[in-house]
Amino acid sequence: MRSDGGREAIVVVIGGAAASAVGTGATMHHFAPDGSSDRPAPDARTGLWLVGARGSVATTAALGLAVIADGRAEPTGCVTAGESFASAPLPAFGDLVVGGHDISDVSMVKRAELLVEAGMIAPRLLTAAHAALERADAEVRPGYSAHPAEGAARESQQAAAERLAADIVDFRERHGLARVVVVDLVSTEPLPEPAPELSDRDLLRAALADPERAVLPPSSVTAYAALLAGAPFAEFTPSASMHLPVLLELAEERGVPVAGQDGKTGQTWLRTILAPAFGARGLRVLSWAGANLLGGGDGATLADPQAVQSKLVSKSRGLQDLTGSDVTPLHIDNVPDLGDIKVAWDHVHVEGFLGSRLTLQTTWSAYDSMLAAPLVLDLARLLALADAAGYAGPVPELGFFFKDPWGSGVHDFAAQTVALSDWVRAATARVGGDATAAADRS
């Protein structure tokens, strides 16, 4: 770390030489032999930086956070509001400060008004959260697009990542935050084609510096920016983002905890409860067919055959692992009039005693953003704890929240629940927290 004109500069070694990101001032923390560190306390004021901040999920999360913090709504649906987390030193809902990146010019308030019109959000809640949404929207900065506006100068991906990182650090410093947690909520993108640059630092460094090349998908530029800023990161979509060898390696080296990917909000959550139950009962799943109907931005995005592939992979991988069957056909249809409502149907064909057959059918219908938003708040609180406790790279226990968890092959939801609870206790112990201290803070 060095000073340039009064601003801190990160020095990130991507290849044999150093690449500096002036103004992105991340802090490298130091650990004593007993595991303690100089990192800020986990329950200190924390930034929640939403990538895709003006979308439905981000706006719902920001609005929900505002009314929960003001006591106008209960944190129903937030895992970390449960009794088993009461002794964990997590930032209070009122201590989360919202900002973000987006390429949209539709404000968070306007997005919330559209969600009210759709019947998803009660008008009284928008009234109560209006000022908070305006404050959050004022903290939204231009994001990164692989397709800049006509006539705009093309920036290299290194320059773009440094710009995004500087926004995050500026937000942290202006608000006096202990840390900023970045959560990517941008629409699903096609998975990148295999390329040597994605696993070789020297090649990647050269590619990032060339404004005529875009070797990283936009989600990975976002993830790289979080690493430059020293910000814990969660990938809530099935996009590649941090899940590239070179970026995961950098997260480990820089001491940045990360979690992903693809939020487990509805149909897949139910599947990871039911599938282990069939196995425990001694039954054999022959096939598990599913269908998703959804509208809104996600429906339109997933109508793209390339973009939908990453979603199909993430939704199917865990189910195949849990059932031992590769007969898990799934299709996703765009039904525009459904808006933010998602309908999921499953048909499960099972072999029982003496070759008998049984069938289970389930239908799940819910506002997708309402399922996702509370988990975004949970991830912000838990990644603050992970950062304070000195975790680096993928945190496998946070796989509880994801369809395709990084660093873990566990998909059984009951097992994930136990693992998450055990991890929270261990992380709390690492930062010196206990039930008495937590009670004093409440």
Q: Identify the CA nearest to 408 among candidates 398, 423, 421.
A: 398
Q: Over 80: is that where the pLDDT of 196 sits? A: yes
Structure tokens at 114: 């559209």
CB 258 within 8 Å of CB 406: yes
The 10s digit of each residue's pLDDT in 411-427 is: 999 999 999 999 999 99
Contact 118, 340 (CB under 8 A): yes
What backbone torsions phi and psi does residue 115 show, to the nearest 5 degrees? -70, -30
Q: Cβ atoms within 10 A of the Cβ of 210, count?
A: 12
pLDDT band at 332; cut points 50, 70, 90: confident
- Cα(343)–Cα(277) distance, rounded to whole angstroms? 23
Q: How far from 421 is each of 75, 229, 402, 416, CA to CA, in Å?
A: 19, 29, 16, 9
Tell me what the pLDDT averaged over the chain comes to.
Answer: 88
Task: Report which of residues 295 and 284 the model is more confident about.
Answer: 284
User: 410 Cβ partners below 8 Å, 6+ apart?
Assistant: 396, 399, 416, 419
* pLDDT (average), residues 379-392: 98
CA-CA-CA-CA torsion sign (170, 174, 176, 177): negative
- pLDDT per residue as tens digits for the range 62-112: 999 999 999 999 999 999 999 999 999 999 999 999 999 999 999 999 999
What pLDDT sits at residue 191?
85
Most distant CA atoms of the chain, gap in Å: 78
Radius of gyration, CA atoms only, the chain: 22
Structure tokens at 61: 């999360």
For 289, phi then psi, to 5°, come to -100, 145
Give the pLDDT band (50/70/90) at residue 42: very high
Which residue reads 């487990």 in tokens?
Answer: 264
Q: Which helix (H) or strand (E) holds 367?
A: strand 357-367
Tokens matching residue 400: 């509880």
Q: Is 181 helix (H, G, I), strand (E, B) or coil?
A: strand
For residue 358, the tally of other CB atoms under 10 A from its CB is 12
For residue 26, pLDDT over 70 is answered with no
pLDDT tens-digit map of 357-367: 999 999 999 99
Q: Indicate yes or no: pTM above 0.85.
A: yes
Dihedral (CA of 116, 370, 305, 194) sign: positive
Among 65-79, 109-123, 330-344, the range scoring the smallest mean pLDDT is: 330-344
